[in-house]
Structure 1
Amino acid sequence: MAAILLAEDDESMRSFLKRALEKAGHVVVDAGQGDDALAELQLREFDLLLTDIVMPGMDGIELARRSADIDPAMKIMFITGFAAVALNPANRTPQEAKVLSKPFHLRDLVDEVDRLIAA
């Protein structure tokens, strides 16, 4: 079981992902935008930040950078339809971050989260 901070601006997607991860045994705190997720990170520790890249306000890349500064041990995974954006070195994404491209099956998400947490 891991403590996961989920940042996704699409409410239905966020709810769907949260339920799937909780069903897999994880504790999930969700946020609809980067600023809200960063505030949650300052309240408690998480094992994993699972974030969309494209969000209003603070995007997922900036959230990942700031989160890595606050908790360098926390693992980071991007869920996005724009994998090339996350992988662009100019974006200075945290080196250890993983990318899961949309669309994906929920089983794939849970498997990837479990692998990343175990690593």
Structure 2
Amino acid sequence: MTATDSIKILLAEDDEAMRTYLTRALDNAGYDVKSVAMGTEAVPLLESEHFDLLLSDIVMPEMDGIELAQRCGEISPKTKVMFITGFAAVTLRASREQPQAKVLSKPFHLRDLVLEVERVFEDRAEASL
């Protein structure tokens, strides 16, 4: 059993191609990934299941990633948050409103995404040794 086996990730990304691409990369890295097209689809999952990480685009219709992260904090305070975005100004807003969340700017290499997710859980892996 590897450290990634029990880690569950909820991915909220409105771009279907990007969502498929990210899901495949994280699946291949050994994570258990559920993906949704928007924040409003993520909230019921956060209410009904435990996720270790919320990986969310920031700019999405209906509910943006920052609002989703705030809801996640209310529903599941132990769930870590990481944002992905292609907009520099949005990155600054996310850093201000969710200072504990990592922000990964598009474009990024899939290897970089997997490395950032691994970093989020390094403490957890070390604690289980």
TM-score with structure 2 setting the length: 0.86
Matched, 1:33 2:38: yes
Matched, 1:58 2:82: no
- How far apart are 1:6 and its partner, in Å? 0.1
Coordinate RMSD, CA, aligned:
1.5
Mapped partners of 1:51, 1:34: distance in 2: 8
Q: Whose Rg is larger?
A: 2
Structure number with greater CO (CA < 8 Å, separation at least 6) is 1
The answer on whether the counterparts of 1:68 and 1:94 sit within 8 Å (CA) in structure 2 is no
Q: Deviations over 1:8-48 (max 9, x none)?
A: 00011101100000000000010000000111111101000
Mapped partners of 2:93, 2:61: distance in 1: 20
1:94 alignment partner in structure 2:
98
Query: Which segments of 5 or more consecutive residues in structure 1 lack a partner in the other structure?
Result: none
Mapped partners of 2:119, 2:18: distance in 1: 22
Mapped partners of 1:74, 1:38: distance in 2: 13
Structure 1 pair 35–92 and aligned structure 2 pair: CA distance change class (3 A): farther
- How far apart are 1:82 and its partner, in Å? 1.7
Query: Which segments of 5 or more consecutive residues in structure 2 lack a partner in the other structure?
Result: 124-129
Mapped partners of 1:49, 1:107: distance in 2: 18
TM-score with structure 1 setting the length: 0.92
Moved over 6 A (4+): none
The percentage of aligned residue pairs carrying the same residue is: 58
The answer on whether the counterparts of 1:4 and 1:50 sit within 8 Å (CA) in structure 2 is yes
- How far apart are 1:100 and its partner, in Å? 0.3
Matched, 1:71 2:76: yes
2:126 alignment partner in structure 1:
none
Mapped partners of 2:97, 2:91: distance in 1: 7
3-state DSSP of counterpart to 1:55: coil
- How far apart are 1:92 and its partner, in Å? 5.8
Mapped partners of 2:41, 2:32: distance in 1: 17
1:44 alignment partner in structure 2:
49
